[in-house]
Amino acid sequence: MALKWYTLVVDCADPQAQAHWWAEALDWQVVYDTPDEAVAIPKGIEEDPATDVADWMARGQGLVFVPVPEGKTVKNRLHIDLAPHTSQDRDAEIARLEALGATRVNVGQDDDQVSWTVLADPEGNEFCVLSSRDR
């Protein structure tokens, strides 16, 4: 038996702003939004209870944003990798994320030698946009 990876929790100063930013960036939806927690999940995920374990395991993960008093001070030890499909324009997707408020950051990568681009969300959490993929 295996456990389901259910969510990734992100500490932040403004959970509501972060949840809405990531929902816009990923074309997801915010399904829960209180001062203590905001949750974003992919559009189309069934919100009704799953009675079958296979259906339960097949449902995608969400992002949960919770407030913390301290600010981010060092590079993330865990980050999200995003990848465009081979039919998408990767550079256009990066430009769209930057227009939403993402910034390019250097965490030690040599941009001439890597196939990904490191960005940070509005609160400075790093994530990568990988090369285009079809699997």
> Cα torsion for 70, 71, 74, 78, to the nearest 10°?
80
The per-residue pLDDT for 1 is: 59
pTM for the model stands at 0.90
Per-domain residue ranges of the chain: 7-67, 80-129
The per-residue pLDDT for 75 is: 85
Cα–chain center distance at 121: 9
pLDDT tens per residue across span 72-115: 888 888 999 999 999 999 999 999 999 999 999 988 888 778 88
On whether the 7-67 domain is CATH 3.30.720.120, my answer is yes
Cα–Cα nearest to 129, from 81, 96, 95, 86: 81
Task: Evaluate if residue 48 carries a pLDDT over 90.
Answer: no
Q: Do the Cβ atoms of 83 and 133 come closer than 8 Å?
A: yes
pLDDT tens per residue across span 36-47: 999 999 998 877
